[in-house]
Every structure is written in structure tokens, then in C-alpha cells.
Amino acid sequence: MNAAPGAASPALRVANAFKVFGRRPQEAVKALKEGKTRQDVAAMGTAAVIDASFEVKPGEIFVVMGLSGSGKSTLIRMLNGLWTMTSGSVHIGDTDISKISGKRLREVRQKSVSMVFQHFALLPHRTVLENAAYALEIQGMDKKKRTELATKMLKTVGLEGWGEKYPSQLSGGMQQRVGLARALCAETDILLMDEAFSALDPLIRRDMQEQLASLQADLGKTIIFITHDLNEAMFLGDRIAVMKDGEIVQIGTPDDILTHPATEYVASFVRDVDRTRVLTAGSVMQNPRAVVSVSGGARAALLTMRQQQTSGAFVVDRHRKFRGIVTDREVMALVDSGESDLTGILAREDEAVSAETALNDLFGRAVESSTPLPVVDDEGRLVGAVARATLLAALGNVPSSTSSMEILTPGQTAGSNDGSQPPGIFATEPTTESGGNL
Ligand SMILES: Nc1ncnc2c1ncn2[C@@H]1O[C@H](COP(=O)(O)OP(=O)(O)OP(=O)(O)O)[C@@H](O)[C@H]1O
């Protein structure tokens, strides 16, 4: 997953797209634009997509998520011109596909957009290789070239050596990979995937999601992925559009959607999400409370811990790079022995995790560690910390990255911190490091 936010012009741009099936589609769209509801216009036709607008960035996985009948398939079919829009526009690069048809549309499709379907639609009497190369054969590519390309794409999807088999000799997951290889053979920048993994067993499906994510990271395709499964959407999507009754009710990152659902409908959806796979260390981390400079020495570290009522401190260098953790006892012993250098007592310097680490991957470490996990950025600078209590809270609650959650140390209960016990080495509010250490 490789969101490419920033200045790049969008790979795909949808503006005020409507699709009404029925006898009086234009009339229905006019009424919808005037504020009438889907039910109001039912006599004129079925409003499958209502006023959809969004942009997909190059290299992004954009997921369209919604229950059956919400309009996902209709929307995705408008993106490659399989359905003509009733109103609105879809730009692929600079081309407005609502304004072209026939040969020109087929060219754009061939060059820019390929599609992977839920049912793999493999040809049973052709080999895996021939299936992968099928679109190339239709395009008239010569046999040697298409065999070369299809062999390469089969390797890309993990099917090296399976080219001479027939679809019936492959598992469902493998057949879907052939479908994916076939789409990749077209070498288009945009891949549309319509419920592509929905027919697979849960374990194989999960495996495919992981493979797609890593494939995407390598190939940098723009992927528009349709699913009715929110867990799948949350895992795969750089951003997700949630659809209900033909309308997009929210577009956001998985984190946004989980932590700030726009409507009660979205909120009711996200209650069942496997948060540990979606939330990251960065989204639940707290501000580290006692951050001391390694060059400040033992006395300054002790002072900071006292002032901030903590039993330990995160030690950083002058560039705020994480160096390790010290406890008040160790620092006190150091001071008692007349020494100041903290480097000899630094512990767990190798324990820092990146802000992108999924909570799923933090549990093992949190169990092994009695103190919170330091979170660092790409440069190794300390940017936050995750306590065991935070991890557990994240499983049940919607956490807030601005740290309003009370963090407990072992032995404390919620609301019990009356100042008589040190609160651990986290703040409940964003802090600036005091003690003059940094
Ligand atoms: N060809 C069609 N003619 C008439 N109505 C249609 C047609 N295709 C879809 N619809 C209607 O448009 C609405 C949206 O359907 P669509 O298939 O896009 O939803 P979906 O979210 O993809 O659902 P599913 O996951 O079940 O395919 C539904 O009410 C459906 O009955």
C-alpha cells in the first residue's frame, strides 16, 4: 500500500456521477439534484449511484465499500465505461470517458484500465499460461512476446512453474491469482478489482490481501478495489469510500473512518472491525511523559522524573533519537555512586517500533515489556509511546491520537491516580519536556 499523496495529478477523477436505471433517468437525476431522495424518484428509475465525486491518486489503493445494492458495482463499471453515466464525468488522466465511445473508449480501456472480477472467468480448456495471456492474444500480440509477458506476470503473482496446468488443477486462490496475472499482463496503470477475493475461503482471502498489498508496493499500480467487507477495506485501502443507497457517505483513511465515522451508519459498521489490523502504533500512541537527554546526565534525568511523577524516562540524544529507557531506581543508584553518565544503564534501546506498525504486531512485544513501547519516526526520533493499557483500550474503544485516554500503570484503576502513585512514563496530555534537559 503505497499512498502517493501530494501534488501529482489524479490517476482518476470522478465528478458528480449519477447512474439511474429505468425509464426516465434524466428526469430522475434532475429531481435528485434538486434535493429529492432515492425513494422520491423510484417511479422514474433505480438511482444506483447518486452524485459520486472523488479522486484517486496514482499508486493509491482506493477501496469502495458498501453493502449489497449500495451501488459499488455500478460505480466501478462507470469508471471504465462499461456503464454509461446518466450524468457527470470520469476522467482517466486527461480523458473524460463520459465523452468518448466505441473504438476510442476501447483504446483507453486497453491502455489504461484492466479489471479483475470475483469469478475468475478462466477458460477451462486453456492452460494457466494461455489464460494469463488471453487478453494479449486478443490484442494480436505475437506468441513469443505474450508467452514471455504472461510467464513474467505469473511469476509476479507467485505462480511460477504453474503455466502448463489447467485451471481445474488449481485452488480457488491460485485461480484468482491467474485472473490477477491476466489483468497485470495488460500493463495498465489502473486496476479495477470487483469483489475480487470475495469467493475465496477466509484464510486464502487474507493471504491474497497480503499478497496484493505487497504486490502493489512493488508495482505501484493505482487500484480501485470493491468490497462489502469492511475488514478487507480497512486492511487494503489507503483510502476508503463508504457507500450507502447509492451515495458515498464518507471518504477517508482507515484510521479516519475508524476514529471519526461521519455518520451513525458508518459507526455501526466499524464496530465489528478488527482494529488490531488497522490501527497503528502512530494512531494510538501517547506523548511520552519523561523525555530526557542522554547528555543531560543522571541528576537532570532524576529531576525530570520527579517533576513529572514518573518511575522511568525515555532517553534521547540531542537530535531526539531514541537511545533507551532508564528507571528512577537505576538513575538514583547512579547519582548515589557519584556518577552522571546514563549510557551504562540504558535498556531496551532496540525496542523502538515504527509509527506504521500495526497493533497486531505490538502485542507480543508489549507482553514481554513491562514499560511502554517507544515509537520512533523514520529517522529514529522518539515521537510517542504505547502502553499495554493503550493496546487493550484500542481493542474496545475508539482511541484518540491526542491522548485524552487515561494511561494506567500496573496496580492502578481508572481514576485512581490521585498523585500518590507515579502515573508511569506517559502523559495523559501532550507535554513539553521540562527539566531543561532538551
Ligand atoms: N442493470 C440494472 N438494471 C436495473 N437496476 C440495476 C441494474 N444494476 C444494478 N441495479 C440496481 O442498482 C442498485 C445498485 O446495484 P449494484 O449492483 O451497483 O450494487 P452493489 O453494491 O454492487 O451490490 P452487489 O454487491 O450486490 O453487487 C441496486 O438497487 C440494483 O438492484
What distance in Å separates the CA atoms of residue 252 and residue 255, rounded to the nearest whole number? 8
Residue 22 CB less than 6 A away from ligand 1: no
Whether residue 158 contacts residue 211, with contact meaning beta carbons closer than 8 Å, is answered with yes
**What is the ipTM score, two decimals?**
0.96
Q: Report the nearest atom of ligand 1 relative to the CA of 19.
A: 12
Pairwise CA distance, residues 90 & 98, whole Å: 6
Tell me the sheet residues that pair with 95: 92
* Predicted pLDDT at 356: 83
What residues contact 242, with CB distance under 8 A and at least 6 apart?
A: 65, 66, 248, 249, 250, 251, 257, 265, 266, 269
Q: Nine-digit cell at 391? A: 493496546
Q: What is the spatial distance between Cα 345 and Cα 331, in angstroms, rounded to a whole number?
A: 8
Q: What is the pLDDT of residue 120?
A: 65
- Whether the CB of 117 sits within 6 Å of ligand 1: no
- Ligand 1 contact via 118 beta carbon (within 6 Å): no
Query: Which amino acid residue places its CA nearest to atom 2 of ligand 1?
Result: 21
Nearest CA to ligand 1 atom 24: 68
Ligand 1, residue 246: give the atom nearest the CA.
Answer: 14
Q: What is the pTM of this model?
A: 0.70
Does residue 38 sit in helix, strand or coil? coil
pLDDT along the chain (438 residues), means of 10: 57 96 95 95 95 95 93 94 93 91 87 81 91 88 93 89 93 87 88 86 80 85 92 91 96 89 89 77 85 92 90 91 92 93 86 86 77 88 87 61 30 35 35 31
Domains recognised in the chain with CATH numbers: 12-273 (3.40.50.300), 282-396 (3.10.580.10)
Torsion over CA of 125, 178, 221 and 248, rounded to 10 degrees?
A: 90
pLDDT digits (tens, 9 = 90+) for 268-307: 888 777 777 777 888 788 888 889 999 999 999 999 999 8
Helix (H, G, I), strand (E, B) or coil at 364: helix
Length of the chain: 438
Backbone angles phi, psi at 280, to 5 degrees: -115, 170
Site of grid cell 543531560: 296
Cα–chain center distance at 240: 8
Which atom of ligand 1 approaches the CA of 75 most closely?
A: 18
Contacts of 1 (CB under 8 A, 6+ apart): 61, 213, 216, 217, 236, 237, 238
Q: Write the DSSP symbol of residue 321.
A: B
Ligand 1 atom with minimal separation from the 66 CA: 21
**Ligand 1 atom 13: the closest Cα is on which residue?**
48
- No. of H helices and E strands in the chain? 17, 16
* Residue of minimum CA distance from atom 16 in ligand 1: 71
Query: Is the shortest distance between the CB of 73 and ligand 1 below 6 Å?
Result: yes
Which amino acid is present at 379? E
Q: Tell me the H-state helices in 67-197.
A: 72-79, 102-112, 128-132, 134-139, 143-156, 172-185
